[in-house]
Amino acid sequence: MQHSAEFLAIVEQSKQNVSEIDLDQLRVMQQTGQPRLIDVREDREWQAGHIPGAEHLGRGVIERDAIARLPNKDEVLVLYCGGGFRSALAAESLQKMGYTAVLSLDGGWRAWTAAGLPVSLEP
């Protein structure tokens, strides 16, 4: 996907303010006590497949619904999207709302599927 320079600039700024993990780090975390995995992609992307065990909380509503859906602001949350851009933006927003352990998955869904890892179609 071709992104505008303006979009890439705000993503880069967000990435300076959030902690990112890669796929290998996520896999280790999942083996030692799975973090809460949040898919911030659009509804149609979620319905086409997602990481098993993930919850869907789209980027467009995450700030509105976070307090109700994610009440423990100290819980480890790993956010992912298609490639790691929207999840960085969402992670920064959650941090501004007081969440203390938010991580963004660099490479996101594309990294997961490229590695041949399992995909879920369950709601």
Tokens of 55: 């919850």
HEC sequence for the chain: CCCCHHHHHHHHHHHHHCEEECHHHHHHHHHCCCCEEEECCCHHHHHHCECCCCEECCCCCHHHHHHHHCCCCCCCEEEECCCCHHHHHHHHHHHHCCCCCEEEECCHHHHHHHCCCCCECCC
pLDDT score at 123 = 80
What is the greatest pairwise CA distance in the chain?
A: 39
How large is the average pLDDT for residues 24-34? 92
pLDDT score at 33 = 83
Residue-wise pLDDT for 31-73, tens only, equals 988 799 999 999 999 999 999 999 999 999 999 999 999 999 9
Q: Is the pTM of this model over 0.75?
A: yes
Residue-wise pLDDT for 72-112, tens only, equals 999 999 999 999 999 999 999 999 999 999 999 999 999 99
For the chain, domain boundaries: 5-114
- Assigned CATH topology for domain 5-114: Oxidized Rhodanese; domain 1 (3.40.250)
